[in-house]
């Protein structure tokens, strides 16, 4: 698979995906969204990949937004199609992947960039990171899930303020809001997400996939998340991972999940 805008690295169960358009501050265009989808699908199907990291190339930006030049002259129908296709192809796809996806925010995460980070299962930021949804300053609203995921993560009031003011917040504020889990010096970003990923890898990949599905169920209209949890809990009992985990516990040794 030839990649023009993506760099993929894989080592010790961790697949790191770099969005590589530094001259555009890694802005998302349709080609990059397609490449991200194809890369994520590939690594999600690879049993040797246990954790996925998404980050930006360079030191300035994670993703500084969508590529406005692509849609500045769209009609309303074309705009709706752009949002629908992007959400299905990338943002909803990431949220529902069975492999954990961590956003390592290494700089500006604005507009579509913040929406990409929010679609990941959780986020880590470097101290220089800035985050925001500036779409209303362009006469439009977030279209890749920002109006839905931001209030889910930080609460309705704070989300409303961020969207209405089109302003940016710094990494420490994002941590206080619960938008990111950790804030570290930029030089420590790699070691931090590697340490967290290594801890995840020690646990059952089957159970983690079931947990992701159960947590996400709470945010699906018409779905009872407790029912999904009950089903997924029961499903785990029929897996080799459950047998290995419980046997290892009773034998007072560390479990070895495949």
Strand partners, 132: 110, 168
pLDDT at 59: 87
Residue 120 sits in the same domain as residue 241: no
Q: Where residue 116 sits, what CATH number does that domain have?
A: 3.90.226.10
Residue 189 sits in the same domain as residue 219: no
Asked whether residue 209 is domain-assigned, the answer is yes
Query: Is 45 a catalytic site residue?
Result: no
Chain centroid to Cα 203, Å, comes to: 20
- Does position 17 have pLDDT exceeding 70, yes or no? yes
Containing domain of residue 92, as a range? 6-201
pLDDT at 66: 86
Asked whether residue 18 is domain-assigned, the answer is yes
Average pLDDT over residues 57-70: 91
Q: How confident is the model at residue 2 (pLDDT cuts 50, 70, 90)?
A: confident
Residue 114 sits in the same domain as residue 157: yes
Chain centroid to Cα 1, Å, comes to: 22
Residue 190 sits in the same domain as residue 160: yes
Asked whether residue 156 is domain-assigned, the answer is yes
Q: How far apart are CA 17 and CA 36, in angstroms?
A: 8
Q: How confident is the model at residue 225 (pLDDT cuts 50, 70, 90)?
A: very high
pLDDT at 229: 98
Dihedral over alpha carbons 63, 65, 71, 75 (to 10 degrees): 130
Residue 86: count of CB within 10 angstroms of its CB: 23
Q: How far apart are CA 81 and CA 85, in angstroms?
A: 6
Asked whether residue 257 is domain-assigned, the answer is no
Average pLDDT over residues 180-187: 97
Asked whether residue 1 is domain-assigned, the answer is no
Residue 178 sits in the same domain as residue 111: yes
Contacts of 216 (CB under 8 A, 6+ apart): 95, 96
Q: How confident is the model at residue 69 (pLDDT cuts 50, 70, 90)?
A: confident
Dihedral over alpha carbons 206, 98, 120, 15 (to 10 degrees): 80
Residue 35 sits in the same domain as residue 100: yes
Residue 24 sits in the same domain as residue 134: yes
pLDDT at 1: 61
According to the 3-state scheme, what is the secondary structure of the chain?
CCCCCEEEEEECCEEEEEECCHHHCCCECHHHHHHHHHHHHHHHCCCCCCEEEEEECCCCEEECCECHHHCCCCCHHHHHHHHHHHHHHHHHHHHCCCCCEEEEECCEEECHHHHHHHHCCEEEEECCCEEECCHHHHCCCCCCCHHHHHHHHHCHHHHHHHHHHCCEEEHHHHHHHCCCCEEECHHHHHHHHHHHHHHHHCCCHHHHHHHHHHHHHCCCCCCCHHHHHHHHHHHHCCCHHHHHHHHHHHCCCCCCCC
Percent of all residues in the chain with a pLDDT value above 90, rounded to a whole number: 94
Q: How confident is the model at residue 52 (pLDDT cuts 50, 70, 90)?
A: very high
- Does position 114 have pLDDT exceeding 90, yes or no? yes
Asked whether residue 255 is domain-assigned, the answer is no
Active-site residue identified among 115, 229, 244, 256: 115
215-223 contact pairs (CB < 8 A, 24+)? 216/95, 216/96, 219/152
Residue 161 sits in the same domain as residue 223: no
Residue 71 sits in the same domain as residue 193: yes
- Does position 231 have pLDDT exceeding 90, yes or no? yes
Active-site residue identified among 135, 172, 213, 251: 135
Residue 217 sits in the same domain as residue 188: no
Domain count, the chain: 2
Residue 169 sits in the same domain as residue 212: no
Query: Is 11 a catalytic site residue?
Result: no
Contacts of 9 (CB under 8 A, 6+ apart): 15, 16, 18
Q: How confident is the model at residue 258 (pLDDT cuts 50, 70, 90)?
A: confident
Residue 144 sits in the same domain as residue 211: no
């Amino acid at each position: 698979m030839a990649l023009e805008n993506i760099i993929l690295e894989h080592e010790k169960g961790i697949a790191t995906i770099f969005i590589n358009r530094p001259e555009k501050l890694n802005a998302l265009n349709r080609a990059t969204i397609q490449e991200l989808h194809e890369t994520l699908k590939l690594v999600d199907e690879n049993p040797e990949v246990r954790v996925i990291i998404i980050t930006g190339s360079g030191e300035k930006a994670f993703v500084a937004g969508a590529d406005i030049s692509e849609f500045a002259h769209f009609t309303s129908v074309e705009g709706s199609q752009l949002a629908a296709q992007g959400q299905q192809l990338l943002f909803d796809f990431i949220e529902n992947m069975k492999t954990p996806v961590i956003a390592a925010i290494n700089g500006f995460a604005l507009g579509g960039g913040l929406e990409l980070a929010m679609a990941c299962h959780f986020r880590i930021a470097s101290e220089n990171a800035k985050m925001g949804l500036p779409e209303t300053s362009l006469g439009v609203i977030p279209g890749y899930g920002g109006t839905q995921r931001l209030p889910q993560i930080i609460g309705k009031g704070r989300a409303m303020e961020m969207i209405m003011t089109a302003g940016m917040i710094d990494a420490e504020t994002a941590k206080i809001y619960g938008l990111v889990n950790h804030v570290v010096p930029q030089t420590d970003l790699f070691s931090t997400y590697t340490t967290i990923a290594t801890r995840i890898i020690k646990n059952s990949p089957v159970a983690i996939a079931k947990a992701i599905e159960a947590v996400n169920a709470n945010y699906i209209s018409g779905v009872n998340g407790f029912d999904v949890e009950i089903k997924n809990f029961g499903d785990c009992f029929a897996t080799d991972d459950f047998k290995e985990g419980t046997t290892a516990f009773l034998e007072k040794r560390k479990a070895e999940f495949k």
